[in-house]
Structure 1
Amino acid sequence: MPGNTYSVTTSYGGCTFTAEKYVDAVTSPVITANGPVTNICPGTPVTLTASSGRRFAWSNDSATQSITVTAPGVYNVLVDGCRSNEIVITHAAGGGLAASGDEVVSNISGNTLLAATGCRAIAFVEPGGSQPLTGSLTAKTWVETAVIYYKGEPYVPRHFEITPAQNAENATARITLYFSQQDFNLFNNDHPAYALPSSENDAVGKAALRIVQYHGNGDNTGLPAGYPVGGSTSIIDPRDGDILWNVDMQRWEVSFEVNGFSGFFVTSSTPLPVSWISFSARRNDASQVVLNWRVNEWAVSHYQIERSLDARNFTPAGILAAQGDGIMEYTFTDPTPVLQQIYYRIRQTDLDGSYSYSRILSVSGIDGEFTAFPNPVGGRLTVQVGKRYIGSRLKLMNISGVVLQEITVKQQSLTLDLDKYASGVYLLSTEDGKVIKLIRQ
């Protein structure tokens, strides 16, 4: 057996020979879980991690060191051919959707199911994006007895308020909200022309579904009228592939990304003030930022362009009047060049005074009209310079200052091939003394 010394003795011609061999103990691989595994709420993700090794063969056919599962069952793994212990995941009794008035407070440090007492599911959150959600979070749900109406717009009776304790206005994550078919049926009975999904194969209903997000602090009713008058709203169009009917749980699961948390309501694609088709930003030759956006607008008053150096505190950069109803295109050039990284968003204001925001775009900074990217670089390097550098020469040097290459600048953008150089640190300099440190991978 492992962990012992074994010997073999033979005799031949009156002589005796003995050979010994020590066989080291083999430690069986072990699975560890990132949290409880027994009597957990259905849908709760559990991450299982095996001991270190080179080859992994899990009982669910996965082949990585860690797996994340939601289904109950018995899990084990072969690590380099040795079998691990078993982890048994069991679900608690109960489940289903949250009841009206259900509330839960959770500490978010990763993907988290938000469920009230008895495993009644409210939502599922996955932190991610530029400012990932973290820390304490409160989730509430209400289920009204009839379709909600506010300023002439209908909303599904089930609605939500999800509020982080910190950075509620800018925290980013992916959210999944849960609905019953009855929630959608009540809405469809009132609005058959703009119906939400009536079955898992209802492509038209999925395409019509929209999330309306009311920003700010609501009152205890959770209704649209309880949010600040004149406050901002966002219209979110989830991808049709992210609107799923869960046969096992008998519920709709609607997933989407958010920038900021507050109240969430579901409606259909009846005419809304603006639908963002595209929004982009670039720098022109004068280092000014040029914004372009294309929208399908209705009853829009104007667009206010806002900029920020930290993606939190925005100031106005200009205003463009709306052109009228229909699909329109807009271009705005920020007259003040800003060479450091800068962020832009657009505040769209309707004729009735309500407003909402576009997504936030980031524009990379430039150092004195001399920049190079990507950095670190694998092989091909793009260098951009201002017009005043045309006709001058750039020098590529190693870290010791030895000149490896001189390049005559003939245009504002040029490409250098660094494939022939070994990994390490290099310097790219201009004639007037500007230097960029490059990391060759």
Structure 2
Amino acid sequence: MTQLYSLVARPVFAGRVLVLFGLLLALLLSGRAHATVYYVNVARPDNTGDGRSWDTAKKDVQAAINLATVAGDEVWVKAGTYRPTQVPTTYPASVRYQAIYLFTADIKLYGGFAGSETAAAQRNPAANLTTLSADIDNNDGPTPTTTTTASNAYHVLVTNGRGSACVVDGFTLTGGRADGPSFAPKMNVGAGMSNLFSSPTVSNCVFSANTASSGGGMYNENSSPTVSQCTFSGNTASLGGGGMYLFANSSPTVSSCTFTGNTTGIRGNGAGIGSNLGNLGSLKASNCVFSGNTSGGASSGGGVSISGTGNSNSTVSGCVFSGNTVTSGNSGGMSISGSNSTVSNCVFSSNTVTSGNSGGMSISGDNAKVNNCVFSSNTITGGNGGGMSISNSFNPTVSGCTFSGNTAMGTSSLGGGLYSAAATGGTLTNCILYQNTTPNNNNDLNREELYKVDATNVLTVSHCIVRDAAGTAPNLTVLNATLSNCYTEAPGYVDAANPIGSDGLWATADDGLRLACGSFAVDLGTGTTPATDLLGNPRLRALDLGAYEVAGSSAPSNNLPAATTTVLGVQTAVSLPYSDCVNQLLQLNAAGAYTLRGRTVVTVFVQATAPTYNRQPYVRRYYDLAPAANAATATAELTLYFTQADFADYNAARAGRPALPTSAADPEGYAANLRLTQFHGTSATGAPGSYTGWAGAGPAKVFITPTAVTYNAAATRWEVRFPVTGFSGFFAHTGSAPLPVALTAFTATAEGPAAVRLAWATATEQNSARFEVERSLDGRTFAGIGTVAAAGTSSSARAYEWLDARRPASASALYYRLRQVDVDGTFSYSPVRTVALSGPAASRLVLAPNPARATTVTGAAAGAPVTVFDAVGRAVLAATANAAGAAALVLPAHLPAGVYVVRTGTQAVRLVVE
């Protein structure tokens, strides 16, 4: 065994001296003082070219590497598949020891070229796939399970003695099968890449389908490479680190990488990244995704396992751990046992432990700090800590975290959100623990959100929401913990039912676990750090609880959106403003007997000009409301908001229809003209007339008369309030579409000192029932004073008249409008007409007796006609004045009691019949 080991190890250690000596000699002889670029193109027939241009490129990568003997030299590799070609002469005569070796200098190895670039910045690794493959005889199948591993090289790429200036960038590394003898530990690990006492920089790389006892994709021993923009996928390790393994004093920096579908076997820790760090080792990981990785039995850390002795000082930030699994062990997402580690701005979602603790994350190292993180929908089958568990740790600190929807399924499981068995109590600050469960444990009270094991070292909890804490705020209690400034109220998430948001990406602006405007959790935190939340938004004033800070002001603004805007609210039995924290959209009242509840999506559409459908213009600001439940039957009261500019735009497009207010004061009373049409169903665009699929009770289109149209001076907006049953699209306008009556003229003219004559005309009428004449003394409050029957349905011009013979004696101006009523009861208003009056004039006409049914009028001109009119302006009696200007008037017995007008010439006098 010793002899075999020496055969394998000799080129790595003993041969290292020779290599370094050769490098020194080469540098002295060459005299070169600057870096050189060497080119590689697999399509070349052989390696006879000098490698100094694309036209004279080498065929094999190793041939170009062997020329790059000066630190800083670059090797540019054109897209294609390249295989190892070099076997050290001291190795056994087996092609499986072939590899691509980086031993001589800290060069830069770049892939992703199309073959015509003149600068490395011009390459595109995503478009120009450059593969380094251990499949020497080119017989691998399309998946690792069909790979003929017996003929694959043990390693794809081997680096030795390299520093951080050594760069590997833009490659896919695949097919390494480090299943060699266990007596060669330095070579049978790190199938994808083995870095021995070296510190290369690796970026834009994919390590795929590699297999080894540890570090299936990449193995680091006493090595600190920088790895960025890489994908580790489908790698397998029988022990630790299916994707990457860190051993001894390794301190790699890993950023913007994806670890997905990697696996480890029994006792295999860290299917994504595994480690066994020395006192000087640590992991620096940022903006990475660990998804769908699986660790086998007696394992920990489905995504990442940071373990070892001493102070690891590891930092993990901006990472997402989602859908990782540990079949038997701990920590579906991540496990940390090294001391002084910090985890920030990370998301742990839908990770699973089949048998063990901590679905999302476990901490057993001292002085761990976790802040600004989300733990959502993680699950453990039988252990404790659905979201997080802490054990044997001194001074753990958890702050600004959100625990939601995590589950511990065992019959004795504790801490659906957080379980702590810390050696010292630790602190929990500015956190939200809400909707976490232990559904099968019916024995332990107040254990679902948070559970602390022993009373020796209590957990200090402050400024948190703990849903199932006992007592009444502010005097809440949790076993073995001290609580201060804590609450049990619902935090007010934007959409707890869809925590990741509609884009399917965590840590983006549509995350459902963001706090809604007006959330209970706003401004309840303590301290001033961190300065930003999970999304990078600045923390404002007093910190909000949880991982998200409400964007903008915590109080809804009076601004109205200037462009189409969608917000989501969770409607309860209250009056709730729907706001994006900068703009108000509407108010939705579901208090009392109203039934709307739950998630409700509100969209306000704002167009440049008034849209038109079926000859009817609509106000350019219109609304779509989409409740998640009972959209066809739910009830509520809506208050929609409009600007004066919205109304001005409508008035410019109304084409003869009644106007909307032209100013906030609205002296004409045009606010009474506003109507709404509700289109039931669904629409892809929200435009009027685009709604389809209505299957509920009642018509698909509903004509609505609002209960109030008022101007809110403080908010500088019009507010339109009305009750509604069923939700969909709402559009403001005046009249119906098309108008049942086309009004072509409407006038009001003073006639003498005591009457006003109204005249109007229509071009067409459709199902018109009547015209109701309304009068006002102030231009705002109108009352009906008469009715004239309409033509019904007519395609020809019609003329109408009505005499107001009961002019108020003190009026100096009167306001008139017509209320046109259809046969189905819907109605619309005409424009308002104003009549200026000089005041009442003394009439020479005298009636005696008065009141009376039979009377005599005097003061008329000799021979002048005298007419008596009823209250609606109809002539009911006619007579002629004699030579003395008098006429006897006897009203027919069938005429009702009331006020009548006696008129002759320009004079009129009232006759009262009792």
Same fold (TM over 0.5): no
TM-score range normalised by the length of the shorter chain: 0.3 to 0.5
Q: How does the TM-score come out when normalised to structure 2? A: 0.21
Greater RCO, 1 or 2 (C-alpha within 8 Å, sep 6+): 1
Q: How does the TM-score come out when normalised to structure 1? A: 0.41
Higher Rg: 2
